């Protein structure tokens, strides 16, 4: 591939922190980078608490477990999502209810939520897809009206802002991913954040194999918990990336703006939306081609591959997967996913490379 789809930005700072962690971060210092990463992360997002994890999936699973769902309790989420958003729902014995997305943000459509609420509904998971924010005000209104928890899957939205508040800081809890494809990375890794002391303490107890805060006996677990921890070496990488967060997010935004400007003369497609009073951190610049072009995932992807450009298809509706029941009523999700593609957007991508990607996008949209 001449042009990759994602790749982390690793500088001397990351290398020096990881070198330090691997050479000296043991014994008494074995949690230093972990503690620093958690407190700096909480400060950046604007929450009271943060717990680092081995993945975002693990953070979400522990958070859901802390909310104590019963068998068949229902959790609402958008049909367009990565599998990681729904897998923990199933593992905590709740039942996912898939709602359609909005045409412009590709996030859950708040106007289609209420008709899916039953007396078993307990929570809504709001995924800020590709950095685009869900309408938090509307979701909060619904959650208050029906007594539901609001969970923010912010894996793709670090640096996105809704009316002055960071994605992940507004719900009952938020989760983040530091997988190698995400805006900041620790290789694999995640973070759980909340302002709720009770939820924080429950997740902390879970995350420590059920050894509870204040327990004085060594090796004493009072329940079955999890081992979804981040290592000090990964946290060192995270600390360096977090120091560079403004630079990394700004670059994502400027890459998106270059795509937007170059493609502005093409009226047969649309790109990620940025709604009023929000800042989209544009994790993935994405093109949705107009319907009349009769494109599909295979056609779009093979054109990119032919030109040695690595691109990724838009997520499938989760209800298309064999584990779930098809839900074609989610018509926006079923329509858009097949004519959309994520474009390359890594930090060191050049203007010339962006131009080349745009020329392929334009070729695809010639009628
Ligand atoms: C990447 C991603 C996850 C999972 O992150 P991991 O760290 O790989 O577990 C969850 N939700 C969304 C929306 C994601 O994009």
Q: How far apart are CA 1 and CA 308, in angstroms?
A: 5
Tell me which residue of 126, 34, 19 sits closest to 81, measured CA to CA: 126
Q: Which of 54, 56, 106, 189 has the most ligand 1 atoms within 8 A of CB, as the residue to mutate?
A: 56
Cut 0.85: pTM above it: yes
pLDDT (tens digit, 9 = 90+) per residue, 79-128? 999 999 999 999 999 999 999 999 999 999 999 999 999 999 999 999 99
d(CA 250, CA 92) in angstroms, rounded, equals 37
Nearest CA to ligand 1 atom 2: 155
Q: Are 108 and 77 in contact (CB under 8 A)?
A: yes
Instruction: Output the six-digit token pair for 42.
Output: 């909480």
Q: Is 56 in the pocket of ligand 1 (CB under 6 A)?
A: yes
Q: Which of 82, 96, 318 to mutate to test the pocket of ligand 1 (most atoms within 8 A of CB)?
A: 82
pLDDT digits (tens, 9 = 90+) for 158-200: 999 999 999 999 999 999 999 999 999 999 999 999 999 999 9
Q: Specify whether the CB–CB gap between 42 and 193 falls below 8 A.
A: yes
Pocket test for ligand 1, best of 63, 96, 167, 177 (most atoms within 8 A of CB): 177
Below-50 pLDDT ranges, the chain: none
Alpha carbon separation from 9 to 31, 129, 156, 325, 350 (Å, rounded): 25, 22, 16, 40, 13
Q: Whose CA is nearest to atom 10 of ligand 1?
A: 84
Top mutation candidate among 51, 84, 178, 184 for ligand 1, by most atoms within 8 Å of CB = 84
Ligand 1 center–CA 120 separation, angstroms: 26
Å from CA of 12 to ligand 1 middle:
27
pLDDT value of residue 1: 74
Query: Which pLDDT value is given to residue 367?
Result: 72
Share in percent of the chain as helix, strand, coil (round to 5)? 40, 15, 40
For ligand 1, whether the C-beta of 175 sits within 6 Å is: no
Is the CB of residue 57 below 6 angstroms from any atom belonging to ligand 1? Answer: yes
pLDDT score for 90? 96
| Cβ of 153 below 6 Å from ligand 1 | yes
If you measure from the C-alpha of residue 367 to the centroid of ligand 1, how many angstroms do you get, rounded to a whole number? Answer: 36
Q: How far apart are CA 164 and CA 346, in angstroms?
A: 26
Rounded-to-integer distance, Cα 172 and Cα 29, Å: 32
- Among residues 300, 306, 176, the alpha carbon closest in space to that of 241 is found at 176
Nearest CA to ligand 1 atom 12: 155
**CA dist., res. 367 & res. 290, Å (int):** 11
Distance from Cα 28 to the centre of ligand 1, integer Å? 32
Q: How many angstroms is it from 216 CA to the middle of ligand 1?
A: 35
Ligand 1 atom with the smallest distance to the CA of 127 is 13
CB 82 less than 6 A from any atom of ligand 1: yes
């Amino acid at each position: 591939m001449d042009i990759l789809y994602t790749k982390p930005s690793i500088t001397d700072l990351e290398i020096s922190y990881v070198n330090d962690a691997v050479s000296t971060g043991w014994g008494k210092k074995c949690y230093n980078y972990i503690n620093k990463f958690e407190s700096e992360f909480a400060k950046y997002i604007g929450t009271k608490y943060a717990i680092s994890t081995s993945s975002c999936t693990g953070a979400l699973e522990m958070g859901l477990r802390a909310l104590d769902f019963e068998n068949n309790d229902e959790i609402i989420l958008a049909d367009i999502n990565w599998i990681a958003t729904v897998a923990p729902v199933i593992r905590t014995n709740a039942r996912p209810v898939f709602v359609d997305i909005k045409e412009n943000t590709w996030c859950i459509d708040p106007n289609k939520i209420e008709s899916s609420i039953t007396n078993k509904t307990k929570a809504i998971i709001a995924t800020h897809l590709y950095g685009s924010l869900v309408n938090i005000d509307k979701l909060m209104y619904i959650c208050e009206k029906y007594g539901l928890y609001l969970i923010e899957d912010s894996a793709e939205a670090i640096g996105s802002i809704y009316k002055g508040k960071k994605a992940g800081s507004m719900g009952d809890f938020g989760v983040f991913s530091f997988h190698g494809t995400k805006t900041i990375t620790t290789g694999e890794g995640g973070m759980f954040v909340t302002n709720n002391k009770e939820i924080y303490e429950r997740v902390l107890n879970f995350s420590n194999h059920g050894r509870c805060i204040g327990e004085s006996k060594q090796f004493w677990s009072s329940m079955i918990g999890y081992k979804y921890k981040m290592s000090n070496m990964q946290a060192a990488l995270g600390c360096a990336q977090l120091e560079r967060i403004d630079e990394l997010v700004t670059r994502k935004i400027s890459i998106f703006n270059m795509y937007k400007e170059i493609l502005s003369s093409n009226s047969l497609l649309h790109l990620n939306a940025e709604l009023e009073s929000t800042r989209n951190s544009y994790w993935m610049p994405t093109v949705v081609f107009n319907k009349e072009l009769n494109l599909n995932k295979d056609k779009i992807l093979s054109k990119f591959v032919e030109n040695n450009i690595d691109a990724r298809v838009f997520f499938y509706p989760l209800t298309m997967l064999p584990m779930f029941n098809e839900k074609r009523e989610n018509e926006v999700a079923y329509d858009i996913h097949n004519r959309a593609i994520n474009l390359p957007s890594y930090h060191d991508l050049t203007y010339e490379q962006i131009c080349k990607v745009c020329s392929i996008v334009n070729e695809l949209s010639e009628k």
